[in-house]
Chains A and B, each alone.
Chain A
């Protein structure tokens, strides 16, 4: 009774990764431990894939 498309399913990527930044409600931005804005550190964003299209998101299916 498994739908056809699920024959091609694979385990979802682990999305709950630890990030090196934290949300600052005063700035309304995520900030790195050294005070820099996470959004300006492209190396960190690239490494984490934090701005990348994904598949398997639990909450969002528009990528």
Chain B
């Protein structure tokens, strides 16, 4: 039974997992849907009540019925590297590939349906609340007056993209940013705007959850950091990520979140305030983890490899009914 990894060639984080799988005896096939059709080829037939499908890449041929798991890591857009790309060919290729893979019994990390839903930040906030995770007061609105009223109730705010996406023409990044005290909220009418109470944090927390395992890491905020330094991705601090312990209440809530989201993998971001409270910020269903492993030494790639190479199970509930393993150290 083969592990299928869908990702681009330059994905060295996937390399960390492939390297772990090598030598275990578990076959691995790695391909980028961007190379379909061409270097990646597929065929599937539905005859006599049975589906049989095959994939090939780089001289490897795998039966889709022989897949034990599919890891959707950083796949390219199907058919995007053909000589004459088109939206039509992309849709044809995507439907053929993912439609056939959906026809198998393979376990997914993460299933495309669950992944698509899990990307919606407003839904993340809702599910976090239902899971009893502390969520900073948040407003998403196109009403300027609602923004003004919210700012009156919560004077210290940050703004961040609702989708997590960034504008490309020209390429720009929109980091989580502190809202100026005298901000004019009129422009809220020109696009849904996510405003959130700023957590005066003393550390950033990343929980990397794989199946029933949690790897917890903490990055202390530089004591000299100003209140405008909000987004850890842009922080000037060079403090490393360190292993951390997870409060049981948070661990239980994370279990609930992943189960309800039907996710096998999730990277949770929290802000730790001065009292030690962890405030939920988001859960990235495909969040990076290599940098955490490099800093902390936590065997996250090994954990991913273990999940992917586990024997197929007849019923694939995510985490349901099993003990949650906390792995801070």
Contacts and interface: CB of A to CB of B under 8 A. Distances in A.
Contacts of B193: 3-5
Contact of A56 (B163, B172, B289): B172
Interface residues of B, number: 55
A39 B287 CA distance: 18
A24 B39 CA distance: 14
B74 interface: yes
A49 to B, nearest CB: 8
Nearest to B29: A28
Nearest to B77: A59
A23 B10 contact: yes
- Chain B interface helix/strand/loop/mixed: mixed
A6 B167 contact: yes
Nearest to B175: A55
Contacts, number: 143
Contacts of B187: 2-4, 7
A55 B76 CA distance: 18
Given A5-B193, A53-B288, A55-B234, A30 B10 contact: yes
Interface size range of chain A in the complex: 35 or more
Contact of B12 (A10, A28, A50, A53): A50
A62 interface: yes
Given A2-B187, A9-B173, A11-B171, A51 B291 contact: yes
Nearest to B230: A8
B273 interface: no
Contacts of A6: 167, 172, 174, 191
Interface in A18-56: 19, 21, 23, 25-26, 28-30, 37-40, 42, 45-46, 49-56
Interface stretch (B15-23, B244-252, B310-318): B15-23
A63 B287 contact: yes
Nearest to B161: A5
A43 to B, nearest CB: 9
B140 to A, nearest CB: 11
A26 B58 contact: yes
A51 B12 contact: yes
A26 B22 CA distance: 12
Contacts of B289: 51
Interface string B5-41: 0000110110110110000000011100000000000
Contacts of A61: 119, 163-166
B172 A11 contact: yes
Contact of A28 (B28, B188, B190, B285): B28
Contact of B291 (A10, A28, A52, A58): A52
B287 A42 contact: no
A29 B166 contact: no
B215 to A, nearest CB: 14
Given A30-B10, A37-B19, A50-B12, A5 B290 contact: no
B288 A56 contact: no
Contacts of A60: 74, 286
B177 interface: yes
Interface of A: 1-13, 19, 21, 23, 25-26, 28-30, 37-40, 42, 45-46, 49-63
Given A11-B172, A59-B74, 11 more contacts: A1-B190, A5-B161, A5-B191, A6-B167, A23-B9, A23-B10, A37-B15, A39-B16, A51-B288, A53-B232, A61-B119
8 contacts: A4-B147, A6-B174, A11-B171, A26-B58, A45-B12, A54-B233, A56-B172, A61-B163
Q: Which 3 A-B pairs have the closest CB atoms?
A: A51-B290, A3-B191, A56-B173
